[in-house]
């Protein structure tokens, strides 16, 4: 199965997605997600200028060798652009190998370890009544686990909080990033009361998650984790800037609230201290931003030795192709934890035809050979690239802060 062509498709049906489309001499088409939110064209160029020409003539079955060839062979390793590009190649090759075998991809990864993947949905509200309404809406849609984000008095524009009834979409179509605000003291005062009210209204069973989005110092995160213990969080996500692995030692030594981290990581090396010292409970990486299925499976195998489970990133900026890759891997690995699921805008289905399903709170990748996703090129051309940026975050005095 020889690779004949590799093209990069940039399309914006609802939001921008970058997809690698590999065609073999037998006419099979494999897809890989290369979407890096707000920096999409950097990965598109990395792939079309530097990687696609190297793929022509290679054996599509050589998934591991191709991964090493692009990773070690480039000399310049790691980083989100490089690893998202390698991920797209890796996932497209797995898609091809599984299609050639006539099997859904999860069967090549060891087969199903469970009936379906517990998914969590997002609920955000500017105040408690809005938040409660948003949670009820998610429950009615079938979600059995909920990420809770709340407005904070005094902060006008805040991560995770949308206008009522609208889907959360962090990237905004504008020439420059919009600016949001942050105040750690106001947040730390307000959040425990929010979780208390939600736990009281929705009872002890519902798994509740919360994302701090990298904003606290280690001692602030330790305080927050401890103050949320009575509300039994499923996890507290990205409580400190993720690149400082050692910071989690301090947090961990003060709280038993489970910790999740890693949506911005791109390599197993980002996790070595965290996994080796058992400083976290969930791995947030998706195949899309971590070098693909080949690389994430290694991370999850290492994590499994320490009873650390998966919690793959599944925002709208992971494309339907990337989502399918996460679902096949999540169905197969033993140490699956939970899967984030933010359904894409309806218009995305004009371009990407998917076979994954969501029912009774569980996702399943479906039974079509390969990933089970098709890309309609003609439809993709009807949604040309539109620039969008993630927000920038500032403290009350104007200092730029982690977003």
Judged by the rule CB under 6 A, the positions of this chain that interact with ligand KDG are 37, 170, 211, 213, 263, 313, 315, 317, 340, 390
CB of 35 to ligand KDG, least distance (A): 9
Query: Residues for the chain: how many in total?
Result: 403
Residues 54, 60 contacting (CB under 8 angstroms) = no
DSSP 220-274: HHHHHHHHTGGG--SEEE--S-TT-TTHHHHHHHH--S-EEE-TT--SGGGGHHH
CA distance 294 to 288: 11
Would you say 260 or 324 has its CB closer to ligand KDG?
260
CB of 263 to Mg ion, least distance (A): 5
Q: Residues 40, 90, 95, 211: which binds Mg ion (CB under 5 A)?
A: 211
CA distance 230 to 13: 42
CB of 398 to ligand KDG, least distance (A): 22
Would you say 213 or 328 has its CB closer to ligand KDG?
213
CB of 311 to Mg ion, least distance (A): 10
Would you say 124 or 218 has its CB closer to ligand KDG?
124
| Contacts by 71-76, CB closer than 8 A, 24 or more apart | 71/291, 74/50
Name the nearest CA neighbour of 206 among 121, 79, 268.
121
317 binds, among Mg ion, ligand KDG, none (CB under 5 to 8 A by kind): ligand KDG
Selected catalytic residue, list 71, 210, 213, 344: 213
Residues 45-84 vs Mg ion: string with x where CB under 5 A? ----------------------------------------
Name the nearest CA neighbour of 328 among 303, 361, 353, 297.
297
CB of 168 to Mg ion, least distance (A): 11
**Interactions with Mg ion, residue window 247-266 (CB under 5 A):** 263
Q: Which range of residues in 39-47, 144-152, 210-218, 268-276 is near Mg ion by CB under 5 A?
A: 210-218
Residues 341, 120 contacting (CB under 8 angstroms) = yes
Closest chain position to Mg ion (CB) = 211
Helix and strand numbers (H, E) in the chain are 13, 18
Catalytic-residue membership of 75: no
CA of residue 113 relative to chain centroid, distance: 21
Residues 20, 34 contacting (CB under 8 angstroms) = yes
CB of 390 to ligand KDG, least distance (A): 6
Neighbours of 395 (CB within 10 A): 13
For 184, the token pair is 């750690």
Strand order in the sheet with 29-33: 3-11, 17-24, 29-33
Would you say 30 or 315 has its CB closer to ligand KDG?
315
Q: Which range of residues in 45-53, 99-107, 152-160, 204-212 is near Mg ion by CB under 5 A?
A: 204-212
The residue whose two tokens read 């999409």 is 40
Catalytic-residue membership of 213: yes
Selected catalytic residue, list 46, 106, 120, 159: 159
130 binds, among Mg ion, ligand KDG, none (CB under 5 to 8 A by kind): none
Which residues of the shown chain bind Mg ion in the complex (CB under 5 A)?
211, 263
Positions annotated as catalytic residues are 159, 213
């Amino acid at each position: 199965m020889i690779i004949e062509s590799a093209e990069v498709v940039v399309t914006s049906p609802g939001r921008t997605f970058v997809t690698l489309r590999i065609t073999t001499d037998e006419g099979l088409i494999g897809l890989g997600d290369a979407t890096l939110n707000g920096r999409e064209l950097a990965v598109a160029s990395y792939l079309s200028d530097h990687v696609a020409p190297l793929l022509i003539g290679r054996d599509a079955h050589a998934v591991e060798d191709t991964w090493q060839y692009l990773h070690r062979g480039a000399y310049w390793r790691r980083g989100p652009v490089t690893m998202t590009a390698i991920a797209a190649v890796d996932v497209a090759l797995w898609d091809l190998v599984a299609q050639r075998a006539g099997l859904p991809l999860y069967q090549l990864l060891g087969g199903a370890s469970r009936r379906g993947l517990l998914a969590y949905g997002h609920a955000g509200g500017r105040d408690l009544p809005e938040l409660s309404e948003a949670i009820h809406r998610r429950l009615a849609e079938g979600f059995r686990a909920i990420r809770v984000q709340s407005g904070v008095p005094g902060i006008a524009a805040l991560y995770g909080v949308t206008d009522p009834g609208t889907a959360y979409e962090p990237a905004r179509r504008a020439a420059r990033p919009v600016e949001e605000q942050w105040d750690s003291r106001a947040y730390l005062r307000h959040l425990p009361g929010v979780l208390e009210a939600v736990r009281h209204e929705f009872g002890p069973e519902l798994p509740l998650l919360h994302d701090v989005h990298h904003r606290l110092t280690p001692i602030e995160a330790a305080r927050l984790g401890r103050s949320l213990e009575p509300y039994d969080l499923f996890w507290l996500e990205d409580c400190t800037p993720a690149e400082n692995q050692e910071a989690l030692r301090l947090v961990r030594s003060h709280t038993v609230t489970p910790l999740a981290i890693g949506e911005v990581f791109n390599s197993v090396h980002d996790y070595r201290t965290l996994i080796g010292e058992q400083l976290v409970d969930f791995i947030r990486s998706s195949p899309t931003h971590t070098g693909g299925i080949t690389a994430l499976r290694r991370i999850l195998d290492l994590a499994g030795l320490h009873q650390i489970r998966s919690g793959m990133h599944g925002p709208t900026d992971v494309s339907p192709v990337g989502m399918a890759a996460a679902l096949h891997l999540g169905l197969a690995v033993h140490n699956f934890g939970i899967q984030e699921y933010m359904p894409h805008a309806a218009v995305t289905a004009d371009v990407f035809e998917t076979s994954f399903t969501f029912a009774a709170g569980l996702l399943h990748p479906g039974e079509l050979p390969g990933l089970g996703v098709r890309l309609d090129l003609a439809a993709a051309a009807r949604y040309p690239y539109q620039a969008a940026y993630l927000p920038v975050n500032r403290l009350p005095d104007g200092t730029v802060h982690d977003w």
